[in-house]
Amino acid sequence: MAEKDVALQGEAHKQSKLFLKAMKVCSSIKVGMVLLLLLIGASMAGTIISVKGYDVYHSLGFRILLLLVCSAIFLRSVWQFSILYSSKARTRLSSWGSLLVHVAILLIVMGALYGNQYGFNEEINLPVGRTYEINNAKYGINDSFTLQLQNFETRYNPDRSVSDWVSYIIILGEGEEAAAQEIKVNHPYTYHGVSIYQSSFGMAMRTQYLSNGGAVLQEASLEEGNAMVIEEQPGMMIRFIRYIPSPTPQVLYIVYKEGREYDWGSLPLGSSKSIGNAMGMVSFKEAQPFSGLLIKRDPGIPLVWTGFVLLAFGFFVSLYKKDNTVFEPQRHNTTNVVHKGEKEKII
């Protein structure tokens, strides 16, 4: 064999040893535990940071961490399978329990990653009579449909305490009514893999900004506390504060100019009022009750549930220990090996 060939074989053998060493390190329990702890820490941080407006769970860093955890568990499973298959322990059912647990955790994390990548979770406020489109362009679903809120109702107990909030929705598919459903708290409705939950309710106000002559220049539906930025008057916005329904419906509002309070007051529903010194007029035309709906789709759920079932099965399999061989010491250096129903002497 030529000296060059020997050198090439030696280099290939060296690279193979480095690859196996790297595989062993990446599939080690220590690496997996560190990644799992990082994932738990990121999940705990997400419950705090998400409240402040940043969605940790759908960030690129969180998805990369999920991918690394998947990779580590997969490598560990392959490594464990190769060792188990080549050993005598492969004949024992309990020896496969640990491997099944690893595969189960892999399925759970893969389901979480898949759902994180291709699912969505959004809360919308839909006024009565309005529609909301759930389409492929925004949500990446093949079966687009339109959600319409037909009515919203607050139900009361005999003692006048609230018993439930109910939204009556209509699903419109290709311009036709595909389903009509009543949604209550803890009773969502699922259509083509998209679940719709009742999450909140409130009141929206149809707000108009008028010229001094009464022409409508701008209109918006505002929820309590929200504001409409006036395009005709730079730096000015109208904030809807509160709706007082009885005895005479009144609307509380504040007008801001350059970040400061410029005008404020209460206005009867349906009437209009001048803003400051000829800055136009404001009018609140209609109080619109709205329903807060949570729109959610998680395609990774089947993988997660499969993982949990396999996790329980693998846990109980790992506890299953049955030895068909019983060793009984005998005289004269003889050992009886008792198998089910038979004895064999080994000298």
Tens digit of pLDDT for each residue in 148-172?
Answer: 999 888 888 888 787 888 999 999 8
Measure the CA–CA gap between 328 and 337, rounded to whole angstroms.
7
Question: For residue 328, what is the enclosing H or E element?
Answer: strand 326-329
**In Å, how far from its chain's centre is CA 173?**
25
The one-letter amino acid code at 114 reads: Y
Model's pTM, two decimal places?
0.63
Rounded CA-CA distance 211/281 in Å is 6
Classify burial at 169, counting beta carbons within 10 Å of its beta carbon; exposed 0-12, middle 13-18, buried 19 or more: buried
Cα distance between residue 22 and residue 15, in whole Å: 10
At 171-211, the pLDDT tens digits run 988 767 888 999 998 899 999 889 999 988 888 899 999 99
- Average pLDDT over all residues of the chain: 81
Residue 189, token pair as written in the block: 């409705």
- Determine which helix (DSSP H) or strand (DSSP E) holds 37, and give its type and residue range: helix 29-49
Per-position DSSP letters for 98-109, written without gaps between them = HHHHHHHHHHHH
Q: pLDDT class for 67, splitting at 50, 70, 90?
A: confident
Does residue 105 come out as left (phi exceeding 0), alpha (psi in the -120 to 50 range) or beta? Answer: alpha
One-character DSSP codes across 327-340: EEE-STT-EEEEET
pLDDT number for residue 330: 53
Q: Is the pLDDT of residue 218 over 60?
A: yes
Question: Which architecture characterizes domain 203-289 according to CATH?
Answer: Sandwich (2.60)
Residue 341: pLDDT band (50, 70, 90) is very low
Cis ω on the peptide bond leading into residue 247 (within 30° of 0)?
Answer: yes
| CB 292 within 8 Å of CB 124 | yes
Give the span between the Cα atoms of 218 and 210, in whole angstroms.
7
Contact in structure between 238 and 282 (CB atoms under 8 Å):
yes
* pLDDT at 268 (0 to 100): 92
Q: For residue 307, count other CB atoms closer than 10 A to its CB.
A: 21
- The pLDDT of residue 52 is above 80: no
Distances (CA, A) of 9 to 6, 18, 20, 191, 283: 5, 14, 16, 60, 85
Query: What confidence tier does 30 reach under pLDDT thresholds 50, 70, 90?
Result: confident
State the residue for tokens 């790992």.
318
**Position 15, amino acid:** Q
Residue 253 has a pLDDT of 95
> Alpha carbon 47 to chain centroid distance?
12
At 60, the amino acid letter reads: L
Q: What is the CA 213 to chain-centroid distance, rounded?
A: 50
Residue pair 205/227 in contact by the 8 Å Cβ criterion = no
**Which DSSP letter does residue 143 get?**
S
Between helix 301-319 and helix 97-118 the angle, nearest 10°, is 170
Kindly list the domain boundaries of the chain, sorted by start residue: 21-119, 203-289
pLDDT tens profile 125-147 = 888 888 999 988 888 888 889 99
pLDDT band at 327; cut points 50, 70, 90? very low
More confident residue, 56 or 84: 84
286: β partners: 206
pLDDT class for 75, splitting at 50, 70, 90? confident
